[in-house]
Chains A and B, each alone.
Chain A
Amino acid sequence: MEWEAVIGLEVHVQLATKTKIFSGASTAFGAEPNTQACAIDLGLPGTLPVVNEEAINMAIKFGLGVNAEINKVNVFERKNYFYPDLPKGYQTTQLDKPIVGAGTVDIALEDGSVHTVRIHHAHLEEDAGKSLHEDFAGMSGIDLNRAGTPLIEVVTEPDMRNAKQAVAFARKLHSIVTTLGICDGDMSQGSMRFDVNVSVRPKGQEKLGTRTETKNLNSFRFMEAAINKEIQRQIEAIEDGFEIIQETRLYNGDTGEARSMRSKEEANDYRYFPCPDLLPVVIDDSRLDKLRAEMPEMPEVRKARFIEELGLSNYDAEILSGEKATADYFEAAAKTSGDAKLAANWVLGELAKTLNQNDTEIKDSPVSAEMLGGLIARIKDNTISGKIAKQVFDALWKGEGSTADEVIEKKGLKQVTDTGAIEAIVDEVLAANQAQVEQYQAAEEAKRGKMIGFFVGQIMKASKGKANPGMVNQLLKKKLG
Chain B
Amino acid sequence: MAIDRSTIESVAHLARLSISEDEVRQTTDKITAIMGLIDEMQAVNTDGVEPLAHPLDATQRLRVDEVTEPNQREQLQAGAPATEDGLFLVPRVIE
Contacts and interface: CB of A to CB of B under 8 A. Distances in A.
Interface string A55-84: 110000000000000000001000011111
Contact of B76 (A19, A26, A42, A83): A42
Among A36, A44, A141, chain B packs the most CB atoms within 10 A around the CB of A141
Interface residues of A, number: 55
A132 B66 contact: no
A56 B62 contact: yes
A53 B63 contact: yes
B84 A38 contact: no
B87 A33 contact: yes
Contacts of B65: 17-19, 52-55
Contacts of B71: 35-36
A interface: dominant SS: loop
A279 to B, nearest CB: 4
Contact of B82 (A53, A139, A144): A139
A472 interface: no
Dominant SS among interface residues on chain B: loop
Given A34-B87, A97-B53, A51 B68 contact: no
A83 B93 contact: yes
A281 interface: yes
B44 interface: no
Interface string B76-95: 11000010111111111111
Contacts of A97: 53
B58 to A, nearest CB: 5
Band of interface residues on B: 35 or more
Contacts of A204: none
B47 to A, nearest CB: 18
B54 A136 contact: no
A24 interface: yes
A261 B58 CA distance: 42
B93 A141 contact: no
A372 B93 CA distance: 51
B45 interface: no
Interface stretch (A269-277, A333-341, A395-403, A456-464): A269-277
Given A34-B77, A281-B59, A140 B93 contact: yes
Given A19-B67, A36-B71, A84 B59 contact: no
B69 A141 contact: no
Given A84-B90, A131-B93, A133-B93, A52 B84 contact: no
Nearest to A270: B14
Contact of B69 (A24, A53, A96, A132): A24
A15 to B, nearest CB: 10
A141 B14 contact: no
